[in-house]
Amino acid sequence: MKSEIYPALKEFEEKLRKEFPEAVFEVEEPFEDEDLSLEIYLPVRSPKVSKKIAGFLVDLEEGYGVDFSYVLHLKDGVPAL
């Protein structure tokens, strides 16, 4: 496991809580080529949300060298595309 995973995850949590205080996420078993896999649950439904979350993760991937995969669930548990 990469030592950068914990600080990257901590920063993600801080950004997520700041932008979406009611959001919840779970760390899942990563896919083959990934370092970390997340399931993210947000109490909103908006296309802009997917872009914002993707932006958070791209910044962290570039800053920490950690590869993320994620599934985003918007309001009512509906997976976002």
pLDDT per position as a tens digit, 29-73: 887 778 889 999 988 877 788 888 989 999 999 999 998 888 888
| pLDDT at residue 73 in the model | 87
Strands (E), the chain: 24-28, 36-41, 68-74, 78-79
CA distances from 56 to 50, 61, 76 (A): 10, 9, 23
Q: How many CB atoms lie under 10 A from the CB of residue 63? A: 12
| pLDDT at residue 29 in the model | 82
How sure is the predictor about 1, in pLDDT bands with cuts at 50, 70 and 90?
low
Q: Is the pLDDT of residue 26 over 90?
A: yes
Longest Cα separation, the chain: 35
5-79: CATH architecture: 2-Layer Sandwich (3.30)
